[in-house]
Each structure stands twice: as structure tokens, then as C-alpha cells.
Amino acid sequence: MAVLRPIRGLESSSALDLKQAPVLLGRNPERCDVVLEHFAVSREHARVEIIDSTFYIEDLKSRNGVRLNGRRITPGVEGRQRLWPGDRIEIAAFEFRFEEEPSTDDMVHLSNDTEKPDILSTLPVGTDSSKQSGRTSKLGKLHILVGIIEDLSSELDFEKVLPKIVSSLLRAFPQSQNGCVLLRNDGEEFVPAAVQRTDGKDTPVQVSRTILDEVVSNRQAILSSDATKDSRFEDSGSNRELKLNSVMSAPLLDRHDVVFGVLQLEVLDGDQPFTAEDLELLSAVATHLAVVIENSRLHDSALREQRTEFETRFRKLVEGSLQGILIHRMFRPLFVNDAWASLHGYTVEEVLAMDSVLPLIAADEHDKAMAFAEARLRGDDVPSRYEGRELRKDGAPIWVEKFVSVIDWDGSPAVQTAVVDLSHRKQADDALRQAHEELEQRVADRTAGLGRSNRDLEQFAYSASHDLQAPLRTIASYCQLLQQRYGEQLDERANEFLSGAIDGVKRMKRLLDDLLRYSRVTTQSHPFQATDCDEVLQDVLRNLKVQIEECKATITNSELPTIYCDSTQLMQLLQNLIGNALAYRADAPPQIQIGVEERPEEWGFSVQDNGIGIDPRHFERIFQIFQRLYAEHERPGSGIGLSLCKRIVERHGGEISVQSTPGRGSTVFFTIPKLSEEWRPGTQG
């Protein structure tokens, strides 16, 4: 007999008989033989059918598919799969196991005989196995029985061990044709728990009710050597019909000496009846088997009590939790607490009345939620948490963080989802992101405005410094002509005034020249290229040769690298720094050292002197345009030199600073990043 045994999803655990195959499974009650009420099940989802005495399952092109042993089968006839005993079939929230074996309920028939058989031997059976001798003359039989005792000692699940025990007993007593274990059910009826026969027939095993009643009433194992020849058994029609030659039957007693089962072996039409020694061995097995079954039942009862206690404590814990908790099987709610229901705008009763909570998840996240739940049930390695959108009763979206796990609920796996409301955090994140975007836009607008202003100012400075050169040259020329032609006619004071005007024009020209160079840093710059710093330094020293010789300066340098830069501006930079060291010298001859240090991403340069030094209060000020620390008559200059240096260094993506002690000289540090040929000014972050 082939059956589909429900494992998950159906309230009834009774097997679904497939003898009337094909069997249609789906949601349509009018057409389907097995109705599966669930939103994820198609109206006609799958079919089990027989082809050449073999069972197959076919996915009828359902929406959510059919899984066989965890793998989704191809829809349609081409994906039809053969079923083997033990195969697991999953359809949405439902799971079945395919079984193809005779049912024990159909393999035993209790015959109502009227006469009491002639009992050749009886043996008391109790929970103390030490009273059973277990003697036998056959060593092989003893070995088999020892194996039976070992099986019983190592197994708590008696349903698994019973068929093995019967099979071993049939091997130990090869003259037996039938063996069975009968257990008392809740209705006080004895029903088969394990049945086997050695003759290959598939007809039910006939058990004598007279013998069964004798065993139960006397709580003793009995042996009937040959019931068919017993004079007291002649009128028992069932025994003649059953052709019982020899029967051994032993009771299974609980710790209160109450019979809850019977272990029985039978010989039909045989010439090797059982002996009293055989009965002792069977009684020993029955004693141990009774202990195993009772321990198993006690174990199951303890587990049920433990599960009940756990579920009670669990309910108390989660029902009062502030965190929303939902337990479901493929989104059919099994349990929900107040926090989860309230978050979605429902009562607990309203949620539990739903066929599915999937509609409370945003429509575009249905597939993700279903795939995630299925993956967790399969035990796939997926994260235990994710964020998503769910819906309130009024349709308003809720952002939640979900923590998904698989738990045992009423003996079957279920999905537990704990949710945390992220609405306030999402609102704060959205507000922060919007504020950040607005700030970035304002900064970008302000930066663009400043860039335009700077470019305008640079252009103005360049134009002004360039255009003012011509009037200054005119003033200087006329002043010089006046002094040359009419100098003798002017008195000493007039000549002094005229000389002052010419000096002022010269200073103005020098200032405009410096301003013009400052503006040209960006307006008339040159492309970056590989530049030998040592060659640039030699050009600088040639340009400053007169000043160097006049003050008897000594200039030394480390080995300088080749770098990517604007070579003209590097020359301006070094010439300004060395020129400042010469201009702001002390009484001793200047000692100037140009050094360099290679770093992972930049070159660090330094220009060190032994001049008059700078007060630390002015370290920032000296790099500002037109800022001077000394009067013109004390130290000549325009106040643009160091600000020009700063502008050049920043255009190259570097930084410049100074360290100094008044009276002990100064050191100017600047960096030039290590750049490639592809780098262009203005691309640095």
C-alpha cells in the first residue's frame, strides 16, 4: 500500500491512501482529491499517478512549485519524478513523506475462537529480567538474542526498534512463519505495532484471541505446542482454520505489572514446535522490550510536558514583549503578540483569523520575504536579519528590521519573526540625508561663487598690474627727464622731492611686478612635466649670483629628486625662499641648506637659514598677501613673496609652513605630492 504521510501543514496526521491514483493536490475543493488551503498553493498544484506500477509526481505548472527532497522539480510532464519510499514532497507550507509498504493495521486479524487452547507451558514475566534464565542449546540463537538486548538498550524510540526485534526473533527461531508485537491503544484494544511473516504472503496474520486473552488475564507467557492436535482445542474453529501448530506468546508488563502489549511467534503446519527453553528466551526479550517501550513513553511524556512548559513560558515572555513577534508557517499565522499586532494596526484576534500575513508586507517585497523564509526553513546559510517595508491596516508603510529564525511549534518547524519598528530612525535618516544634500548644494553653490569671484579678482589683479605699468613708466620717464634737464635749476629741496617721486614709482613698479607674478600662478601657468629639481636649483643660484656673492652666503643642498611639477613655478618658489633667506640675514654670513625627504605619497622639502628668525605669532601672517613685518627702509620687499610661494605650493596640491626662533634662523617646509603624468592641476581632492 502506498501513502502520502503528512509531516507538516495538515492538522490530521493520518496517511493519504494512493490506491486510487492519480491523486490531485491543490486548492480547488471541487477538483482536487487532497485540498491544501493556502494562498501559496495553486488551484491544481501537483498530481501523483501510477505508471507501470510505479508512482510519479508531477508539478502541474504551479505558481510556487513542488520540491522533492528539497529540490524544486521542473514543471510539466518533462519534469515528472519517480517516487521512492521515504521521499519528502513540499508544496508551499505542506510537507508529505511517500511510503510504500503494507500497513500494520491491515496485516493482523484477531480471530474469535471459542475454545481455550491446551497450554503446555507457562512462565511468569516481570520487570526483573534477572529471573529469566535465557538458557538455550543453540549458540547462534543466543548470539541473536544478545544482539536484540543490545538494540533494546541503545534505542529510546521503540517504533524504530520493534521491526528489528521481530526480524531478529524470526532469525533466532527459523521454524516461525509469523511474528508480531501487539500494543494496547487508548481504547483498550490490542493493535499491531510490528508484524512480519517469512512466507512472502501479503495476507493478514491471524492471531488467536483466545491465546491473547489467556496471556493478558494471567500475565504469563504461554506455549501451545500443537493447538490443532489438542483434544481441548478440537472445537475451536478458528484454530483449525488458522492451522496453528505451535505458538509462543509473552506479555509486555509495565512497572505496575499491567499488560500493555504482547509479543508472539507462530509456527504453521511445521514439524518443529517451540520448546519451554524457547519460551524462556522469548520471555526475556519481552521483559527487556517492555522496559524499553515504557521508558520511551515516559521519555515522550516528559518531552511533551517540557514542550508544554516551554510554550507556556514562551507565551508569557513574548506576549508582554515590546518587540513584535510573529510565528507562522509560510505566512499563515500561528502566534502573534500584542506588539506585532498593534504595530500593524490590528488586534491579535484579527491577525490570527487571517489566512496569510503576506498582504501586510509591501507588494514588491513578497518574493524576497517568501524566499527568505524558505531558505531559513531549509537551513541555508542566509543572514538572520534584514530590513523591509510592511503595511499597516490603513495601508501606511512601516520600515522594520526583521530577525528571522526557525523554531519547533506544536512538533513541526515554524518561522519566528521578531520585528523592530524603524520608522522614526528612517524619518531621522531621511531628514539628515535631505539636510546633508541641501548643505552640499549650498556649499557647491558657495564654492562656485567663490571660484567665480577668485577668477574675477585674479583677472582684475592681472589686468590692473599689467595696465598700470604704462602710466608708471610714463611718470618715471618724465620725472627722470625733469631731473636730467632742469636739475641744476632746481634747489636742493625740489631735487629731494623729485628723487622721492622716482623712488615711489620704482617701488610701485616692483609691487605691480610681484602682483603680476602672483596672478600668473593660475592665469599663465605651465603644464606639469618631469622636472629635475637639481637643475632648477642651479638656475636659481645663477639668478641670485650677485646677491649671494655680496653677502658671502654659503648654500648647500641634499641630492634632489626629479618630480612632476610646473618647472617655472618651482624656480619662482625656490628663488623666493632663498632670496628671503638672503634678505633677512643676520650679521653673520648666511648659511642656507636645501633638504628633501621622500615619503610614501609626497616629497618633503625644506629651506633652512641662520637669519634673524620670525616671532611665532607671525607664522600665519607672513603667508598673507601684502603683509610685511618690517618697514620698507628696514627690509625692502612688497609683502607678496611668501604668499606667492604658498599659492604655488597649493596649486601643486601641497602644503607650506614655517618653524623659527627669533635670532636663530628659520626653516620653511613645503610638500609636493608624487604625481603621475596623467595628473592635472585642480584634480586633487
397 and 362 in contact (C-beta within 8 Å)? Answer: yes
- pTM for the model stands at 0.38
Tens digits of residue pLDDT in 255-302:
888 999 999 998 876 667 888 888 888 888 888 888 888 887 787 777
Residue 135 is predicted with a pLDDT of 38
Q: How far apart are CA 72 and CA 117, in angstroms?
A: 58
DSSP per residue, 503-555: HHHHHHHHHHHHHHHHHHHHHS----EEEEHHHHHHHHHHHTHHHHHHTT-EE
Inter-residue contact 358 to 372 (CB < 8 Å) = no
- Tell me, yes or no, if the two domains 140-299 and 323-524 fold the same way: yes
Q: Are 184 and 208 in contact (CB under 8 A)?
A: no
- Length of the chain (residues): 685
Residue 134's pLDDT is what? 36
User: Domain ranges in the chain?
Assistant: 2-100, 140-299, 323-524, 526-673
Do residues 69 and 86 touch, judged by C-beta distance below 8 A?
A: no
Q: Is the bond preceding residue 383 a cis peptide, omega within 30 degrees? A: no
pLDDT at residue number 596: 95
Is CATH 3.30.450.20 the classification given to domain 323-524?
A: yes
pLDDT for residue 99: 83
Q: Using alpha carbons, select from 223, 206, 205 the residue that is nearest to residue 214.
A: 223
What are residue 282's phi and psi, to 5 degrees? -65, -40
Pure H helices in 327-399: 338-343, 348-352, 366-378
Q: Which residue has the cell 524462556?
A: 280
Q: Assign domain 140-299 to its CATH architecture.
A: 2-Layer Sandwich (3.30)
- With residue 491 as reference, give the H or E element that holds it: none
Please tell me the predicted confidence (pLDDT) of residue 23: 92
Specify the pLDDT at position 155. Answer: 59
Q: Which residues in the chain come in under a pLDDT of 70?
A: 11-13, 101-147, 149-158, 200, 202, 225-244, 269-271, 307-308, 311-321, 410-411, 451, 453-469, 510-525, 625-639, 676-685
Domain 526-673 fold is Heat Shock Protein 90 (3.30.565)
Architecture category of domain 2-100 in CATH: Sandwich (2.60)
539 φ/ψ angles, rounded to the nearest 5 degrees: -65, -40
SS3 content of the chain, % helix, strand, coil (to 5): 40, 25, 30
Question: What's the pLDDT tens digit per position in 113-134?
Answer: 655 555 555 666 654 444 443 3
What pLDDT score does 13 carry? Answer: 58
